[in-house]
Chains A and B, each alone.
Chain A
Amino acid sequence: MGRKLLLENAHIEGIRYYDTYRKQGGYAAAEKALKSMGPEAVLEEVKKSGLRGRGGAGFPTGMKWSFIAKPEGVPRYLVCNADESEPGTFKDRYLMEFIPHLLIEGLLISSFTLGANACYIYIRGEYAWIPDILEQAIAEAKNNGWLGKNIQGTGFDLEIYVQRGAGAYICGEETALIESLEGKRGNPRIKPPFPAVKGLWQCPTVVNNVETLAAVVPIINYGADEYIKLGTGKSTGTKLISACGNINKPGVYEIEMNISVEEFIFSEEYCGGIKNGKRLKACIPGGSSVPVLPANLLLKTAKGDTRMMTYEGLAEGGFATGSMLGSGGFIVMDEDQCIVRNTLTFARFYHHESCGQCSPCREGTGWMEKVLKNIEYGKGKMSDIDLLWDIQRKIEGNTICPLGDAAAWPVAAAIRHFRDEFEWHVKNPEEAQRRNFGLAHYADPLPVPAAV
């Protein structure tokens, strides 16, 4: 069994409420940070822990915090990004729903370190029942002296507010989130200036993902030295993986970043293998934006090494033969799944979610959806495959925010690894309506192991 830091107590009845959370050692890290460590020491500890942003980008958290500007008399803000919208990702929802105090404690320690006296949790609007849970936890924390004025007699003040979004994937991008929090359309801003200098209401702001902020709690509790013992290399600590698709046990798992992809998919401790005795065809290991990999490149790298569930492991081989850990949205596809159709759903998603500011993304995502629709519904031409490739190339890197890249990458990877499946759709338009392409060579030559 891997060690758990975030979900350690998730199974305990009543852990959602303050009394139980406190009894299980909750708010000990906050006490330590506020009373004996001080902001400088907490920052050093977070830097030393190697914690990387868990929302998808993997940027070192301690470094992000150290960028925050500190002009005299200007308030600073911490914003918690709970706009979890990357297809395949549902881990933050789990944390907030079941262990809300872990997040509140993480927000308290982080705000204290940054010198922020107000913190906003921006949560996707569809998670409509979760703000009640968070607000109850906030009220409990306040009643017990962990929020409000002069927290635990330290002189530090903090208020936490919950703000619901209203259905816009783009608001997961930090500057779009800030715009939305200011009551505007979620159009990403041009950087620089970065939020650390000019963020919410033009004040210095740090935006971090839910899981990142929750992870600060065990880092302070156990110390950075203990934290980096879990994981490998620059992938320190644990990561929440939300696993879905054609597997026996979909759900949210906390992994130590030292296990293989094969173990994660096939062991009983995690996904429990492919559903209905089918074979593994492909997987998108880090949310819909990251490249899809065929089974043979998923379990082993192009060099023939075992592929590991770490930032570096999943990225091994670059985009040519690798992918990314991303947000940890792990989407598994069995032999009955159609890569063209799956890619079409993602293209439609990005077209729907493009904010419309930049032409390459606004127009390009629509073109990709249209071309993919033609191929999927038997009206494609061979030249459409090259056209798709061309469009995605022209979106990538040419937009203000990473949504353009996120829309381009899944299309590029699908063509790169599954080109013959696209060609089969074009050549067999009628057959493609009746059945899927199937496995072809994608799952071979690697034999699919029995559950270990």
Chain B
Amino acid sequence: MVQFSEEKLNKVKEIVARYPEGKQKSALIPVLHLAQESFGGWLSAETMDYVATLLQLTSIEVYEVATFYSMFNLKPVGKYLFEVCQTGPCMVSGSDNIIEYIKSKLGIGVGETTADGMFTLKTVECLGACGYAPMMQLGKHYREHLTPAKVDEIIAECRSKAN
């Protein structure tokens, strides 16, 4: 069963307190982030229903928001999600080659997850790191100035962290 820890429930309370009385719907996006972090990196229907109950919303109010924003994953993803930017400024700085390199290195296509459930490759649109291109988001942080060698390092780093 989906259930936030005591600590996370307090966090939800703290978020709801940022808004005027009765406007707890504003907490939806922050709470969905919290839910995604807490329940395996994606939002299942069960998770979304749980968030709806917490914030006294109908389920549909949660679904329509979760499906609108690209950061919310509606399917399971690997332990490490590589989100590689492919928009203009990154493209002129060589992001196409980086995407190809990751594909061949991990043996997966865009939107796929490695068989061991370790890595998912996703292409994304501009993340605001154009001066430090090519780049990707990995968890909370950006990895910038990517080269094949740097991609190798990142993959090795993830593998060693997982072991």
A residues bordering B, Cβ < 8 Å?
Answer: 75, 84-90, 93, 120, 124-129, 159, 161, 163-169, 180-186, 201, 242-246, 250-252, 284, 288, 329, 331, 333, 337, 341-342, 345-346, 348-349, 352-353, 355
Contact = CB atoms under 8 A, between A and B. Distances in A.
B146 interface: no
B129 interface: yes
Nearest to A159: B18
Contact of A126 (B64, B65, B93, B137): B137
Interface stretch (B2-10, B84-92, B108-116): B84-92
B88 A183 contact: no
Contacts of A348: 87, 125
Nearest to B139: A128
Contacts of B68: 168, 185-186, 355
A164 B30 contact: yes
A85 B128 contact: yes
Contacts of A180: 29
B32, B127, B131 — most chain A CB neighbours (10 Å): B131
A183 B131 contact: no
A124 B70 CA distance: 12
B92 A342 contact: yes
B130 A244 contact: yes
Given A128-B140, A165-B29, A180-B29, A244 B89 contact: yes
B118 interface: no
B79 interface: no
A142 to B, nearest CB: 14
Contacts of A125: 29, 33, 69, 71
A67 B133 CA distance: 40
A126 B83 CA distance: 10
Contacts of B91: 341-342, 345
B69 A331 contact: no
Contact of A245 (B93, B125, B137): B93
25 contacts: A85-B126, A85-B128, A87-B89, A87-B126, A88-B126, A90-B132, A125-B69, A165-B69, A166-B32, A166-B70, A168-B69, A244-B89, A245-B89, A245-B92, A246-B93, A250-B130, A250-B131, A251-B131, A333-B92, A337-B92, A345-B87, A346-B88, A348-B125, A349-B126, A352-B70
Contacts of B48: none
Contact of A88 (B65, B89, B141): B89
Nearest to B17: A161
Given A126-B137, A288-B88, 9 more contacts: A90-B131, A125-B33, A163-B30, A164-B30, A167-B70, A244-B131, A245-B92, A252-B131, A341-B91
A201 B126 CA distance: 30
Contacts of B64: 184-185
Contacts of A126: 71, 127-128, 137
A230 B27 CA distance: 42
Interface in B96-129: 124-129
B89 A182 contact: no
B2 to A, nearest CB: 19
B72 interface: yes
Interface in B36-87: 61, 64-65, 68-72, 86-87
Nearest to A284: B88
Contacts of A245: 89, 92-93, 130
B75 to A, nearest CB: 15
Nearest to A166: B69
B110 to A, nearest CB: 13
Contacts of A243: 131
A93 B128 contact: yes
A242 B131 contact: yes
B130 A89 contact: yes
Nearest to B22: A201
A172 to B, nearest CB: 11
Contacts of A341: 91
Interface in B20-34: 20, 23, 25-30, 32-33
Contact of B132 (A161, A183, A184, A250): A250
A-B CB proximity, top 3 nearest = A166-B69, A250-B131, A183-B28
A175 to B, nearest CB: 15
Nearest to B18: A161
A266 to B, nearest CB: 17
Contacts of B88: 87-88, 284, 288, 331, 342, 345-346, 349
Contacts of B25: 182-184
